[in-house]
Amino acid sequence: MEFVNSKRFRVNANGNSVDVWLIYRCKKCKHSWNLTIYERTRPSKISTELLEAFFDNDEDTAMVYGKDIDFLKRNRAELK
């Protein structure tokens, strides 16, 4: 499968922690793959501007993460 950046985030706030993922979609079947940005992180540890960008599905922020090789490797992405 070949996945592409959907330029959308999934944010889950649960109690005192936040999870944030960047959503990738398969080019053919639209199956999704969520790449972890933050996991069980206190919202106070994330800047207000960045948290708003995640909630607003800011495309520029999605592209920054989508081009970050270290981020992709941490999520075990196979790079072409």
Q: Mean pLDDT of successive 10-residue segments in the chain (80 residues)?
A: 91 93 91 94 96 97 93 81
d(CA 33, CA 36): 10
In contact, 54 and 20? CB cutoff 8 Å: yes
Q: What is the pLDDT of residue 78?
A: 78
Q: What is the pLDDT of residue 74?
A: 87
